[in-house]
Amino acid sequence: MPPASVARLPVYLRVLDDLAASGVRGASSAELADLAGVGPAQLRKDLSHLGSHGTRGVGYDVVRLRDLVGAALGVGERSALAIVGVGNLGRALARSAGFASRGFVVSALLDADPAVVGTVVGGVAVDDVADLGRVVAARGVSIAVVATPAAAAQGVCDAVVAAGVREILSFAPCALQVPPGVVLRSVDLASELQILAFHARARAARAARPATGATGPGRGGVPGP
């Protein structure tokens, strides 16, 4: 399955969950695509990677499709998370309600600061990052969230990989190296803002020099990543 399609499955799942909760039984690709913010053809192709589960001439069974997409994403298998780095962001993630509702359980919090180790955040005690291997093994952690400063991120990353974790989500503002077979996703909040700032600057430049080719302002918003 193409990575781009995988990245859209969570969006479809949310749309399907909402519809199912509203009691809607069936929906066409056009309706679903509209709610998901993509094109109907793209939604159909994405779903086709999971097999043929629509009914021609009718559409999709919302509940059936939700269960299918949910199964592909491992919903219902309650993944154990370890959050490494209990700073502002780590704390917010630990307390975030959105995770539990999607099948993720914050099972471990780790930090290097002795002042933080031993405190309880969101009902979970903070352990010393030195015990990372033991904690990860004991609690069956399958996904690690790296929320440390950049300087510590690569070391933490190596440690969680050594502990057997194969999926990592990093918020550290730096490029991380992982061995083959480990899946790493990075989210950098400052970079997101800088990308927006680039567009703000481009718009300002455009406004200062109003006419170059077309007269009107460039059309179309920029869609998500």
State the binding site for NAD(+).
85-90
> Cβ neighbours of residue 127 under 8 Å, at least 6 residues apart?
108, 109, 110, 111, 117, 135
74 conformational bin, left if phi > 0, alpha if psi -120 to 50, beta if neither: left
Of 44-52, 129-137, 191-199, 201-209, the segment contacting DNA by CB under 7 A is 44-52
- Looking at residues 171 to 210 of the shown chain, list those that interact with its own copies (rule: CB under 8 A): 173-201, 203
- Minimum CB separation of residue 154 from its own copies in Å reads 12
Q: Is 63 in the site for its own copies (CB under 8 A)?
A: no
Kindly state the smallest distance separating residue 142's Cβ from its own copies, in Å. Answer: 6
Which of DNA, its own copies, none does residue 23 bind to, with CB < 5 to 8 Å depending on kind? Answer: none
Q: Which residue has the tokens 């997409």?
A: 69
Measured CA to CA in angstroms, residue 62 lies from 24, 39, 75, 77 at distances of 7, 18, 16, 21
Location of structure tokens 């069956």: 140
Going by the DSSP 8-state scheme, the letter that residue 73 receives in this structure is T
- For residue 13, which phi and psi values (nearest 5 degrees)? -60, -40
* CB closer to its own copies, 77 vs 113: 77
C-beta closer to DNA: residue 38 or 84: 38
Restricted to residues 55-114, the positions that interact with DNA (CB under 7 A) are 55-60
Find the shortest distance in angstroms from Cβ 49 to DNA.
Answer: 8
**How near is the Cβ of 171 to DNA at its closest, in Å?**
21
Question: 6-45 mask for its own copies (x: CB under 8 A)?
Answer: xx-xxx-xx--------------------xxx--------
The tokens of 22 are what?
């509203």
Nearest partner of 45 among 32, 58, 57, 35, judged by Cα? 32
128 binds, among its own copies, DNA, none (CB under 5 to 8 A by kind): none
Q: How far is the CB of 94 from DNA (least distance, A)?
A: 32
51 binds its own copies (CB under 8 A): no
Sheet of 183-186: strands edge to edge? 120-121, 124-128, 104-111, 79-84, 143-146, 167-170, 183-186
Q: Terminus-to-terminus CA distance in the chain, angstroms?
A: 18
Task: List contacts with DNA (CB under 7 A).
Answer: 2-5, 28-30, 38-42, 44-45, 47-48, 52-60
